Structure formats: structure tokens, C-alpha cells
Amino acid sequence: MPEDGPRIDVRREGAVLGSVALSGAKRRWLIGRSLDADLVVNHPSVSRLHAAITEEGGAFFVTDLGSAHGTKVAGTPLAPQQPFRLFDGLPITVGGATRTLVPVGTVAALGAAEAEDEALRALFPMQLGKQKESLTVEAGGGGKKGKKGKKGMQMASTLGTGLNVAAASPTLVQLRETSASRSSMRTPLRLVLSAHAKTVTCLALDRAGNRLVTGGSDSDLYFWDYAGMTRELRPFRHIAEPLGAYQVRSISYSPNCDRVAVAGSSNQPVILDRDGRKLATMMKGDMYIRDMRHTRGHVAACTAAAWHPSEHETLATASEDGTVRLWDVEVAAARGNDASSLNVQSGQRAVYVLRDAKGVKTPCTAASWAPDGSAILSAGRDGSIQLWEMRAKPYQPVQLAMRATPRSEYIADISKPTSAARAAHAAGEDISSLTWRRDGVTFASRSTDGCLKLWDTRRLDAPLAAWGDLPALLPMTGCDFSPDGSVVVTGTSVKRGSGAKPTLAFFSTRTLSRIATLEVDGASVVPLLWHPRLNQIVIGNADGKAYTLYDPTVSEKGALFCSVKAAPKRGMLSYSGEGFSKAMQIITPHALPMYREENDDHRKKRQKDRADPLKSRKPEQVLTGPGHNGKLSVGYQQALLATMSGGTSGLTGTKDKIAAFQNEDPREELLKYAKIAEEQPLYVTPAYSHNQPTGADPTAGTYPKFAKTVEPEEEGEDED
């Protein structure tokens, strides 16, 4: 029996039956019923190759190999094929065996966790660049090229993926700050992408990390290509108001990155292609139907859009109508942009209705797919987090028979969530972000109540950790995990004029303590993502700018492309400013066809510029109908009242003036001008004033000048 060095003790009822040394040249020890295993447990519930213990960087991990009856550490089941960090004294149970495996001499939990935090703190100043080699690339500016070191992620490469918390009894752990965590440091390496006029509310990066899409409160989308941009940092595509005048709140790339889902304050999300062209508009629901499961779309503003991790045609959207809806994008695309039709082929697959503890419908503020697509998380405004597992009750296909070409619609027979955390956050506050860890078991939640919490899906009655004093003023504030899952990061908000600076707060998922706090120039940090392949952090700020934080020594591609690529030099004849043509063209009508230069037809471009009110300098038109974009339309009745009462909008005149106007006598008002018309005959033409006979009274029908007529003379002549 080994006494020195790391080992696994086999115990039953407190007695040690044997030990297996975890040393030597081996780095993997098998546990199972097979005689070839390093640690044989002869029990019917134990698989032949049940679990494995591996060593990596001085740390030991246990992994369930997909056994039938599972593996538990300290009473908590392990997810298959997910390594879990071992500590001294945490018992391991395989299947239903009565023997327990206890690690001894591996590493003390507290000492290892603190050592890992110190290693992370040492890496963080270099994670976003060295202070002495500070580089800030602004729009139109430049900086020196940083030396690129090893490729790949070097941060905590040997720290494993397991949580170093007592899995048997997860409790609320308050934030424990140390002197190292209180110190703030600036972000030295960054790219500033400035295009939006208002707050950047959402971000999306494709899997390769080449293209970034940003959406904002100005209702616009901007497409950025890291590989194609220069130091000028200009977007290659601008989509003006893809949802109309509604705010954009969520963007999601499809698994193969050929489509983009956009959701916002509109109740109709849209699907765009990779270049921003609209492919489909989701169907709107009937607001007069009380049961949200019986309508074919959302009836209130959307808050989130999330594409399925592996199914290219499945999209989930969340809305303030209290539902999470699954869509078949192919069916929706077949309908085109006809969003007002009542065609039953809407593409809707399933509807999940969120309800509070009393059974009352509550708005849904966030939704997120599990990494393997087996479950979806949703957050309600009542402060609850609800988990819906797809494997519990699969979709039930229903054939539509009253169609010439029958199609299948999918309706999920799920009336309540699989599990829920009813008091996850403060009621009445928006849970702005739900982010999964790559292990598919742990996730983080961010809320406007100023808290960031860490959860385990296997037990939602209490969070693994909770960190407070993280102000979030906007309901789109995000959080994300590092590529290896050892760190979770979120941003903070500041009020304008307060003089404070927003920060990025980094927390360890092992010791549940704050590792670093990085100050960010600009306004409040709203959306945030940490790309697993680029190892770069992209944040959106309330000042309309998006920042890409990177370090040439540990980051790959992405911002490294455009930070060192200079803008092409332009000659005098190729200047593209106003008043200059992009290129000089020589027209030679009598040249031979083989030497004749083709003249590009700019007719379509001129037509588009003519339709653009800004480029064509179209004057502002008078509003007709209801007002929009913050402008009020003035109706005929309001204009009439404004004119008679001396006001400008019909509402500024006094009640006395309006009452006098309604009660006046028209005859008396006209007779007021009789004396003025007689003394100053401006209303009678000069011809009448000179030719009118004296003594004539048109009202009485008497005209003295014509009293004597020629008719009697004619009669007298006849008598003679």
C-alpha cells in the first residue's frame, strides 16, 4: 500500500481496503469491472470501463466514460465525458457500488485554487497587452505591430475544466476581494469600431471569428470584416433599419454562418443572409388570442434570438409576450417577406410559455441554447430562470391534411419547464444575459439588479456563486466565459456625468473570487462576448462604439489582421471625395472593340441615391397621418383651433378664446367692417366707384338715371 505521493484509497464503511498509486509514467488510470482496468470494482452496476482518472499539469481529474449507472463525486452525478477536478477527501462513487474511492495526496482544494488564481492574475496583465507596449488603434489611426507569439490559447492551459466547489452542497458564496483584485488596470490593446449613433445593444461573431455584426438603438446594423478592414476601421456593409424604426436587441449567427437572425422591439424577427440581404420575416401573432400557444407568432417586442447549435433550420426567439418560440427557418423563408398573411405555414415549431410561481404569464427577457442543443434556458421578469429539456418530451409532428402539398408543423407537448429557479434574481428586474459554459452543465446569469450568478443545471435551488455591486443600467448587459471556462467576465454601467469609468470584472469559477478589474474608456459596457477561437473580447458601449480587446502574444487572427494593415494610398485622380470622380474615364467611340473600355452603368446607383433623402437632399415633408420618429402630426381641427386661438398646436390657446369663437354671431362680425368699407372702399373696384349713378340703391332696386326708358317713346311713335 503506497503511503507517499498521490493515490486513490478504496474504502468501505470507513475501512481502507486497498490503494492505487497515481504516479509513474502513466497519465491515465481506468476504473471498471474489466480485469484490464487499473482499479477493478466488481459490481453489477459498474461498466467494464466505467470511469478514468487523468493527470494534467500536476492536477488530477475524473471523467465518466458514458457508463450506464453514472459516476458521482461527493454525491453529485458527473456529466458524461466531462472532466471534474479531484481534491483530497472528496469521495468517488461508481454505479451502485458500496465501495468509495477517496483521493489522497492529490492536492489540497484551497491551496490549489489559490495557486490557480495567482497564475490567472499573473496572466491577466498580459492577456490584454503590456502596459509598456500600449497600443490603441482608433479610427483612422495606427500603432506599431505587436510581435505575435505562440498560437492558441495560453491562458490557464493546464487548469482543467472542472469546478472546484463542494458539489454536494452548493451555497450562496459572497464576493471575496483581495488586494490584487481591487487594483484596476487599463486595457492597453484595443480596436475602436465607431459607426453607431446610439448605444451598441448586441454583438455577434461567426465561428471563424472573421465577421462581426453590431446592432444598436439607432435601429441599424453594421457588418465588419476583420480580414478585409484596414486601420481606417470601416464597416463593409450598413443595413439601415432591418426591423423598421424598432430597436435591435439581439443578433445570432446560424451554425454554418450563412444566415443572421435579428430580433428587436418589433414582434417580427427577420432572417438575413451573410451579406445583409433580407431572406424572411417571421409571422406576427394575433394579439386578441389569450392563449399564446394558439397563435402563430409573437405579439409583443422580442428580446432574444438564438440559433440552434447544430440544427441549421431551428431558431429560438423570446418575447415580452411571455413565450419562447421555435421556428423552422426553411418554412419561414418559403413564405418570403409576406409577414401579414394568415397562412398556417408560418414555420413555428413549438411554443414555451413562461409563468411565475402563481401561474401568471411573465415576460421573457433572455433565452439561450445549451452547447449540445439538448435544452434551452429562459429568463422571466419575475426573476426566475426556467430550463426546458428537449429530450424529456420530444416534438410531436402533426400532419396538415387540408393542403395540396402537405407540410409538417411541430408542436411541443411541454406545459411546464423541467426545472426552474424561481428566485434567481430580484423580481421586476430584467435578466439580461444567460450564457452557457462549454461543459453544458454550468451557466452564468446577469441581471439589472447588479448581480452576476453562477449556476449548475443539476441543482437550481441555489447558485454556486453570486457577485454583487455590478451596476447594470440597460437590459442588454452581457456576460461570457473564457475559452477554457475558468473565468467569467461581465461589464458594468455608469451614469453620465458621474465621472466614474465602466469596468470589466473577471471572476474565477474555481475559487469564486474576483481576479481582475479592467477600466474601459467610454460609456457603459452593454453587450459582451469572448470568442473561443480568437481569444479576444468584444464589447459594445453606450457611446455607440464597439471595442475589440486583444493581445498579439495569445490572440489569433481577428483584430490582428486590421491592426497592422495600412490603408491603401490614393492618388489625386483616384480621390473619392465630393466633386471628384473615382477614376478618370477616356471615351473613345471610334476605337476598335478590342481596345474599347467598358463604361460602367451607374444608373442603378443614381436611382438608389435619388431614393435616399440624405444623398438627394430632399426637403422635409409635411407629415400626413399619425406622427412618427418623435414628430407630431397636426390635424385640420388642431390647426383651425390654433389659428383662431393664437396657439401653434391647438392646445396652447385658452379656453376663453375657444369659447368666444364658438359663441360669436357671424352677422355682427361682418357688420363690424361696414363703416370701414364705406370710408376706405378697398373692397370695391375703381370702375364701380366712378360709374355708379348717384342716388342708386341696389338693395331697393332703384336707379334714377334709367328711370326714363325708350319703350314709351316707341309706343308714341306708333300712335302717330
- Lowest-pLDDT choice from 49-63, 520-534, 578-592: 578-592
Selection from 224-228, 301-305, 637-641, 664-668 with the highest mean pLDDT: 301-305
Q: Among 367, 341, 503, 512, which Cα is nearest to 434's? A: 367
Which range marks the domain in which residue 225 is found?
112-156+181-562
- What 3-state DSSP class applies to 73? strand
pLDDT digits (tens, 9 = 90+) for 65-123: 989 899 988 777 888 888 888 877 888 999 999 889 988 887 644 455 566 666 666 55
pLDDT digits (tens, 9 = 90+) for 613-623: 888 888 877 66
Backbone φ and ψ of 451, nearest 5°: -125, 150
What's the pLDDT score for residue 188?
57
- What 3-state DSSP class applies to 591? coil
Tell me the chain's radius of gyration from C-alpha atoms. 38
Judge whether 657 lies within some domain: no
Judge whether 25 lies within some domain: yes
Backbone φ and ψ of 426, nearest 5°: -65, 135
Q: Residue 31 — pLDDT band, cuts 50, 70, 90? A: very high
Residue 282 and residue 395 in one domain: yes
Judge whether 306 lies within some domain: yes
- Kindly state the helix (H) or strand (E) to which residue 7 belongs, with its residue range: strand 7-12
Quick one: angle between helices 636-645 and 655-663, nearest 10? Answer: 100
Between residues 187 and 483, the one the model is more confident about: 483
Q: Tell me what the mean pLDDT of segment 253-270 comes to.
A: 94
Q: Residue 231 — pLDDT band, cuts 50, 70, 90? A: confident
415 pLDDT more than 50: yes
What's the pLDDT score for residue 593?
73
- What 3-state DSSP class applies to 640? helix
308 pLDDT more than 80: yes
Residue tagged 414555420 (cell numbers): 347
Report the CATH number that the domain containing residue 43 is assigned in CATH. Answer: 2.60.200.20
Q: Tell me what the mean pLDDT of segment 339-368 comes to.
A: 82
Judge whether 639 lies within some domain: no
Q: Residue 572 — pLDDT band, cuts 50, 70, 90? A: very low
- Lowest-pLDDT choice from 383-387, 462-466, 640-644: 640-644
CA dist 387 and 417 (Å) reads 6
The residue type at 147: K
Q: Which residues contact 312 (CB under 8 A, 6 or more apart)?
A: 254, 255, 256, 329
Domains contained in the chain, number: 2
Model confidence, pTM: 0.59
Judge whether 232 lies within some domain: yes
The residue type at 204: A
The residue type at 130: K
CA dist 126 and 132 (Å) reads 11
DSSP string, 343-393: -S---EEEEEE-B-TTS-B--EEEEEE-TTSSEEEEEETTS-EEEEETTTS
22 pLDDT more than 80: yes
Are 350 and 412 a contacting pair, CB within 8 Å? yes
What's the pLDDT score for residue 317?
96
What's the pLDDT score for residue 620?
75
Q: Residue 461 — pLDDT band, cuts 50, 70, 90? A: confident
Residue 101 and residue 236 in one domain: no
Beta bridge partners of 130: none
Edge-to-edge order in the sheet of strand 221-225: 200-205, 211-216, 221-225, 237-239
Domain boundary among 83, 107, 131: 107
CA dist 533 and 171 (Å) reads 33
CA dist 250 and 247 (Å) reads 10
Are 448 and 426 a contacting pair, CB within 8 Å? no
Number of helices followed by number of strands (H, E) in the chain? 11, 43
- Lowest-pLDDT choice from 188-192, 294-298, 706-710: 706-710
What's the pLDDT score for residue 521?
81
- Report residue 224 as a C-alpha cell: 465588419
Neighbours of 517 (CB within 10 A): 17
690 pLDDT more than 70: no
Residue 300 and residue 234 in one domain: yes
What's the pLDDT score for residue 636?
56
CA atoms within 13 A on the CB side of 680: 3
Q: Among 238, 130, 181, which Cα is nearest to 515's? A: 181
Neighbours of 104 (CB within 10 A): 16
Q: Tell me what the mean pLDDT of segment 191-195 comes to.
A: 91
433 pLDDT more than 60: yes
Longest dimension (CA), the chain: 170
The residue type at 654: T
Q: Tell me what the mean pLDDT of segment 503-529 comes to.
A: 90
Q: Tell me what the mean pLDDT of segment 503-507 comes to.
A: 93
384 pLDDT more than 70: yes
CA dist 326 and 348 (Å) reads 6
653 pLDDT more than 80: no
Angle at the Cα of 485 from the Cα atoms of 484 and 487, rounded to 5 degrees: 110
481 pLDDT more than 90: yes
Sign of CA dihedral 287, 293, 297, 301: positive
Residue 91 and residue 194 in one domain: no
Residue 148 and residue 98 in one domain: no
242 pLDDT more than 90: yes
Beta strand extents in 457-564 (DSSP E only): 465-467, 479-481, 487-491, 503-508, 514-519, 525-531, 536-541, 545-549
DSSP string, 397-457: EEE--SSSS--EEEEE---S-SEEETTSS-TTS-EEEEEE-TTSSEEEEEETTS-EEEEET
What share of residues in the chain are helix, strand, coil (percent, to 5)?
15, 30, 55
Judge whether 693 lies within some domain: no
What's the pLDDT score for residue 492?
95
What's the pLDDT score for residue 668?
84
Q: Residue 12 — pLDDT band, cuts 50, 70, 90? A: confident
- What 3-state DSSP class applies to 125? helix
DSSP state of 254: -
Residue 21 and residue 83 in one domain: yes
Q: Tell me what the mean pLDDT of segment 9-17 comes to.
A: 86
Q: What percent of the chain has pLDDT over 90?
A: 35
Residue 146 and residue 94 in one domain: no
CA dist 344 and 399 (Å) reads 12
407 pLDDT more than 90: no
The residue type at 29: W
Neighbours of 102 (CB within 10 A): 17
Residue 116 and residue 91 in one domain: no
- Lowest-pLDDT choice from 253-262, 599-608, 703-712: 703-712
Residue tagged 459596457 (cell numbers): 525
Residue 62 and residue 125 in one domain: no
Domain boundary among 514, 543, 562: 562
- Kindly state the helix (H) or strand (E) to which residue 31 belongs, with its residue range: strand 28-32
What's the pLDDT score for residue 117?
63
Measured CA distances, 497 to 59, 199, 525 (Å): 48, 16, 16
CA dist 36 and 336 (Å) reads 60
Q: Tell me what the mean pLDDT of segment 187-203 comes to.
A: 87
The residue type at 69: H
Neighbours of 654 (CB within 10 A): 11
Residue tagged 368699407 (cell numbers): 677
CA dist 15 and 99 (Å) reads 10
Residue 380 and residue 346 in one domain: yes
Between residues 396 and 466, the one the model is more confident about: 466
157 pLDDT more than 80: no
- Report residue 40 as a C-alpha cell: 477493478
Domain boundary among 543, 562, 581: 562
Judge whether 464 lies within some domain: yes
Q: What percent of the chain has pLDDT over 70?
A: 67
Q: Among 562, 573, 511, which Cα is nearest to 193's? A: 562
DSSP state of 192: E
DSSP state of 80: B
Judge whether 682 lies within some domain: no
What's the pLDDT score for residue 427?
92
What's the pLDDT score for residue 579?
42
Q: Tell me what the mean pLDDT of segment 461-466 comes to.
A: 89
Report the CATH number that the domain containing residue 352 is assigned in CATH. Answer: 2.130.10.10
Residue tagged 419562447 (cell numbers): 324
Q: Among 419, 526, 421, 508, which Cα is nearest to 472's? A: 526
Are 93 and 10 a contacting pair, CB within 8 Å? no
CA dihedral 237, 240, 246, 252 (to 10 degrees): -20
What is the β-pairing status of strands 514-519 and 184-186? Answer: parallel
Selection from 12-26, 335-349, 397-411 with the highest mean pLDDT: 12-26
Residue 364 and residue 249 in one domain: yes
- Report residue 44 as a C-alpha cell: 453489477
263 pLDDT more than 90: yes
Q: Tell me what the mean pLDDT of segment 426-434 comes to.
A: 94
Residue 330 and residue 445 in one domain: yes
